[in-house]
Structure 1
Amino acid sequence: MLAGFDISLSLFAAAMVFARMGGILMLMPGIGETSIPVRLRLAFALAFCFVIGPIVAPSLPAPPDTLAGLGVTIGLETLIGVMIGAASRILLTAGAIAGQIIGYQTGLAMAQSFDPAQGQAGVLPAQFLNLIFIVIVLVTPLHQEMLLAAAGSYELMPAGQPPLWGDAAFWALELFIDAFTIGVQIASPLIVFGLVFYLGLGVLSRLMPQAQIFFIAMPLNILIGFSIMAMSLGAMVMLWTDRYERFASTLN
């Protein structure tokens, strides 16, 4: 009990669960997209808390004796939820990195539009890859694995206890490195194509100085680049999906 406040144990448990799950679901790829209305995301978070609340309630700590202690405990759970949700969002930046590289290699870097996954303007290949990854999360069991990982995060990060900040920082750094590495690996077929294509253009411009290389090369560059991207799209998606599955397994 709090001094001057009559707060039941069930209400405290509900606040604890919602603080963490709300932070995760508001940022998780697929469910936490800004294009989804906030009320729908909030309703889904509440429904999910009702489902897992009875399961995780025995592992929750006792209510603190002061109002300040209650605020610190709830704030800590919110911070853990936001941290996990942001970590899952980091892997989605692999599509933006790969799309930016592909845009430069295919000559589409200047063609930009609003990317709902990143919340800012991005090149067209990056927007396409981000939307593909979000669709893959929703149509495959990936979103189920992430929801199970969110419920299982209480074993990795017990409720009411601050996380190991050094390990958390190393975890985030590893995810950033993996996102950049995966982005480069996804764009690697286009990187090889760009090196060969522009080398060929350099040789052609030396052999035929009077030729209008720019008008000849741009349509061919876009056509071949899109063809290579279409042929390797399955491998790109599988590479990102495998890393996202391993991320979800680390929380269980």
Structure 2
Amino acid sequence: MWEGFAQQAPGLFLVFTRLSGLIVTAPLFSYRNVPILLKMAFASLLAAILFPYAMPPSTAEFLSLSYFLQVLEELALGLALGFVASLSLQAIYLAGQLMDVPMGFGMVNILDPQLGVQVPIMARFYNIVAILVFLGVNGHHMVLMALMRSFELLPIGQVSWGPGVVMALVRGFAWMFVLGVKIALPIMGAIFLTDIALGVIARSVPQMNVFLVGFPVKIGVGLFLLVFVVPTYVRVIAQLFSEGGDMLSHLWEFIGSLKG
């Protein structure tokens, strides 16, 4: 029994390495409030489950230089897959940050326990909404299914890191910024019109302290519009994370760019 395990251990460790890389960067799995031991146990359990499905070919000699390079390649692939899967959540996070400054929340930060840093209020709010929708549409299941399919489309040791990989990442970044601006645009546009109205009032009534009045007015306008646009945002985010949505399409595009 131990001889059979020793023969399969190098391949099992390569599967575990790809899974560990994804858990480090994938949405939900990578958050700091998830204990590291739990992440390692989850990666080990998934590796044991997926190992018969992955069926890694005979690997290089254990602890050799070529085997070490294979480990690095699988780790890089897992990190890249998780990062591409997280672009959707990053776009929503960006939208919240873009809304904070015009609404007057640019200097008001709260602690994000998931990232361990200070973040603006609206960015945190949109991030929480996106996570709830992500769980509601079983987005975490889709990420794991995409990872399982990656072993079929990208067998261990058969990954091609060509120029197409860079272009796929660039398109993913561009899509993330465009989506973030689109989500934030309604409230940003309303605040811009509010600034114009306040400017007209300042010219018409010079005695009024527009700076004193402007902050609560813009915050009120932003929060008032938020009540009406959040249901639409929830539907957009649900479509984003659903099967056939943009998150999976970018994952498949990235996986396709890695095929030799």
* TM-score in same-fold range (> 0.5): yes
CA contact (8 A) 2:31 2:115 kept: no
Cα displacement string for residues 99-141 of structure 1 (whole angstroms, at most 9, x for unaligned residues) = 1211112111110122344443221101111122222222321
Distance 2:61 2:216 in 1: 70
Cα contact 1:19–1:78 (8 A) shared by 2:
yes
- Counterpart of 1:148 in structure 2 is 145
User: Can you list the C-alpha shifts for 1:202-240, whole angstroms capped at 9, x where unaligned?
Assistant: 100011000122222222211220121232113223334
Aligned to 1:202: 199
Note if contact 1:91-1:175 (Cα within 8 Å) is conserved in structure 2: no
Residue matched to 2:258? none
In 2: Cα distance, 1:51 partner to 1:7 partner:
15
SS, match of residue 234 in structure 1 = helix
Task: Output the aligned Cα RMSD.
Answer: 2.2
Moved more, 13-22 or 216-225: 216-225
> Which secondary structure state, in structure 2, belongs to the residue aligned with residue 30 of structure 1?
coil
Correspondent of 1:101 among 98, 101, 105: 98
Aligned to 2:246: 246
Aligned partners of 1:241 and 1:54: how far apart in 2? 33
Is 1:82–2:79 an aligned residue pair?
A: yes
Equivalent residue for 2:41? 43
Work out whether 1:175 is the aligned partner of 2:156.
no
Query: TM-score w.r.t. structure 1 length?
Result: 0.89
* Contact map agreement 1:117 1:131 (CA 8 A) in 2: no
Please state if 1:63 is matched with 2:59.
Answer: yes
In 1: Cα distance, 2:147 partner to 2:231 partner:
28
- Partner residue of 1:162 out of 159, 175, 183: 159
Aligned to 1:136: 133
Measure, in 2, the Cα distance between the counterparts of 1:161 and 1:178. 28
Aligned-partner residue type, residue 99 of structure 2: I
Greater CA drift, 237-246 or 10-19: 237-246
Task: Measure, in 1, the Cα distance between the counterparts of 2:35 and 2:182.
Answer: 34
Matched residue type, 2:173: F
Q: Is 1:14 aligned to residue 7 of structure 2?
A: no
**Which sections of structure 1, spanning at least 5 residues, go unmatched?**
1-5
Contact map agreement 2:15 2:51 (CA 8 A) in 1: yes
SS at match of 2:25: coil
DSSP 3-state at the match of 1:26: helix
Q: Which amino acid aligns with 2:145?
A: L
Flag structure 2 segments of 5+ consecutive residues without an equivalent: 256-260
Asked whether the 8 Å contact 1:29–1:137 carries over to 2, the reply is: no
Distance 1:123 1:75, change over 3 A: same
Q: More deviation in 119-128 or 63-72?
A: 63-72
- Deviation, 1:33, is 0.8
How many pairs were matched up?
Answer: 246
Counterpart AA for 1:61? P
Mapped partners of 2:60, 2:163: distance in 1: 26
Q: Percent same amino acid at aligned positions?
A: 24
User: Are residues 175 and 240 of structure 1, via their aligned partners in 2, closer, same or farther at CA, if it must alter by over 3 Å?
Assistant: farther
CA distance in 2, matches of 1:30, 1:135: 10
Distance 2:171 2:235 in 1: 20
* Compared CA separation, residues 29 and 9, structure 1 to 2 (3 A): same
Residue 13 of structure 1 deviates from its aligned partner by 2.1
| Residues 118 and 87 of structure 1, relative CA distance in 2, 3 Å threshold | farther
CA contact (8 A) 1:117 1:130 kept: no
What is aligned with 1:211?
208
Instruction: Tell me what 1:235 maps to.
Output: 232
